Amino acid sequence: MTNRLFVLDVPENVPIVAVARDLPQVTVDRVGPYFVLESDRPISIDRRSTGVRHAVWYSCVAGLAGWRIAQWDKDALRTEAR
């Protein structure tokens, strides 16, 4: 089953999506005003590699389908199956 993480398509979130595109087994698509990060394996994004500030980082997730957030702190955003 492919799980999804939704990120609002605004310029501030583009660096986060760019890092996610380079992750193995993660595909990025768009649905309406959202980027959709899809994977059947947990997603882990290192905050420092995105270069975004904390305010952007902590507001980037718009929704989840099949995932729950296992870690979302100053270091990383990591999902796991629900």
pLDDT in tens, 6-63: 999 999 999 999 999 999 999 999 999 999 999 999 999 999 999 999 999 999 999 9
For the chain, the C-alpha Rg in angstroms (whole number) is 11
pLDDT score, position 2: 86
- Cα distances (angstroms) measured from residue 56 to each of 3, 52, 53: 23, 6, 6
pLDDT at 1 over 80: no
Record the pTM: 0.93
Q: Which amino acid is at 39?
A: S
Contact 38, 3 (CB under 8 A): yes
